[in-house]
């Protein structure tokens, strides 16, 4: 014969039955509010009804009253928050991970922060906050990574600045490096690096400018701007293959000129830097050198060096000129020289238009 239930167990069963009857009566239209504790633990900790005239919740229920619950009703769970009639909970706070300004992230189910990932509100200007990241920002393999400012609702859009940090003392300033990805191991082509300035809408397009840093102190040179096309490596068994090119083009002009002005396509300018005396110097300063050279070859022909002006293909336009202007000297200085080395000394094997030195006289093959 089974043991007879204890008095505590019988009381618990009776209380549970009465609570369910009261809850069912409320659900059928009686007025009143469900009060008591938010969660009822199971026997023997039978914290069930907190009032004889108000029904308490059932085991495990969350109670939404017509107002917020009093601290007496949910004091077992702490104070400072309430469960509202619309189902929202007010006043709940959670312990943050990490230290102040550190961005929160999920670390194995817990909030965490890092000194290398911070957000400081209005730290530079009243409307400028700073997100600090130490490490890498990587895109998910199936998605691109795009950094852009939002379109402006009025006026100019905002800018994107990438700035390397300043060095202190003899320290070098931080670098900014852009690098496209390598191609795959099975004849994959390397990624492109593209820079585009914005197009104008009824106005000039944006400029694309590159500046190297200025030198200072004694004998410190300004920074270089170096552009180098890619090398070609390996053994070529068939076909033609060349190393990478460097192309500089002025922009095309596309449109009709029905006015009285002159329109032209974009120019390409290459200038050596000017040397300027400031004050007190006694030594001569040289203007910057422009050196254009074709490539050498240790097993074949050297590279050609071609200069040509544009031709006119319609109307009555003239072909473009090729002008070589020697620099003028100043004071007792002489004008610059035009120096052409290694000219052929015979016309043998030359084509029409070729130049050779005929006893020191430039002669053009007709």
Q: What does the domain layout of the chain look like in residue ranges?
A: 7-90, 99-134
Mean of the per-residue pLDDT values of the chain: 76
Q: Quick: pLDDT tens for 51-83.
A: 333 444 444 444 444 444 443 343 334 445 565
pLDDT of residue 272: 84
> In sequence order, what are the residues at sequence separation of 6 or more whose Cβ sits closer than 8 angstroms to the Cβ of residue 195?
208
Quick one: average pLDDT of 264-284? Answer: 78
Tell me which residue has tokens 């938010």. Answer: 38
pLDDT of residue 64: 44
How far is residue 209's CA from residue 122's CA, in Å, rounded to a whole number?
Answer: 31
Q: Quick: pLDDT tens for 173-196.
A: 888 888 899 999 888 888 999 999
Question: Smallest Cα–Cα separation from 71: which of 84, 62, 61, 81?
Answer: 81
Output the six-digit token pair for 301. 């022909």
pTM, two decimal places:
0.59
How distant, in Å, are the alpha carbons of 32, 255, 256, 257, 311 from that of 261?
A: 88, 14, 12, 8, 21
Res. 241 pLDDT band, cuts 50 70 90 = confident
Question: 284 or 303: whose pLDDT is higher?
Answer: 303
Q: What is the DSSP string of 115-146?
A: TTEEEEEEEEETTEEEEEE-S-----TTS---
Phi, psi of 73 (to 5 degrees): -75, -30
pLDDT of residue 5: 55
Q: Quick: pLDDT tens for 117-168.
A: 999 987 766 667 888 888 888 888 898 888 888 888 888 888 888 888 888 8
Termini Cα distance of the chain: 132
Count of alpha carbons within 13 Å of 211, Cβ hemisphere only? 5
Res. 11 pLDDT band, cuts 50 70 90 = low
> In sequence order, what are the residues at sequence separation of 6 or more whose Cβ sits closer than 8 angstroms to the Cβ of residue 348?
none
How far is residue 77's CA from residue 62's CA, in Å, rounded to a whole number?
Answer: 13
pLDDT of residue 233: 76
Residue 165, classed as helix, strand or coil, is coil
pLDDT of residue 30: 37
Question: Smallest Cα–Cα separation from 64: which of 52, 73, 51?
Answer: 73
pLDDT of residue 115: 93
């Amino acid at each position: 014969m089974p043991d007879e239930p204890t008095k505590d167990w019988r009381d618990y069963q009776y209380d549970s039955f009465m609570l369910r009857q009261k809850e069912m009566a409320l659900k059928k239209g009686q007025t009143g509010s469900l009060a008591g504790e938010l969660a009822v633990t199971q026997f023997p900790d039978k914290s069930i009804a907190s009032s004889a005239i108000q029904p308490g919740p059932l085991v495990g229920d969350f109670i939404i009253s017509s107002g917020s619950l009093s601290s007496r009703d949910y004091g077992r769970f702490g104070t400072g928050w309430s469960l509202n009639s619309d189902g929202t909970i007010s006043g709940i706070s959670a312990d943050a991970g990490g230290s102040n300004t550190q961005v929160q992230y999920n670390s194995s189910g817990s909030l965490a922060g890092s000194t290398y990932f911070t957000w400081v509100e209005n730290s530079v200007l009243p409307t400028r906050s700073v997100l600090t990241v130490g490490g890498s920002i990587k895109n998910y393999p199936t998605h691109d990574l795009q950094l852009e400012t939002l379109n402006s609702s009025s006026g100019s859009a905002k800018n994107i600045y990438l700035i390397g940090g300043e060095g202190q003392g003899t320290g070098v300033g931080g670098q900014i490096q852009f690098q496209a990805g390598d191609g795959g191991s099975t004849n994959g082509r390397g990624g492109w690096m593209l820079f585009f300035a914005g197009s104008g809408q009824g106005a000039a397009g944006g400029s694309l400018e590159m500046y190297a840093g200025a030198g200072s102190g004694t004998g410190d040179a300004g920074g270089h701007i170096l552009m180098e096309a890619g090398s070609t490596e390996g053994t070529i068994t068939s076909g033609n293959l060349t190393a990478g090119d460097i192309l500089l083009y002025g922009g095309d002009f596309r449109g009709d000129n029905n006015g009285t002005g002159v329109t032209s396509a974009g120019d390409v300018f290459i200038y050596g830097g000017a040397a300027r005396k400031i004050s007190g110097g006694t030594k001569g300063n040289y203007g910057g050198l422009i050196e254009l050279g074709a490539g050498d070859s240790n097993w074949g022909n050297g590279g050609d060096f071609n200069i040509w002006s544009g031709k006119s293909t319609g109307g009555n336009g003239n072909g473009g000129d090729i002008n070589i202007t020697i620099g003028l000297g100043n004071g007792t200085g002489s004008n610059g020289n035009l120096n052409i080395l290694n000219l052929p000394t015979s016309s043998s094997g030359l084509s029409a238009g070729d130049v050779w030195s005929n006893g020191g006289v430039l002669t053009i093959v007709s």
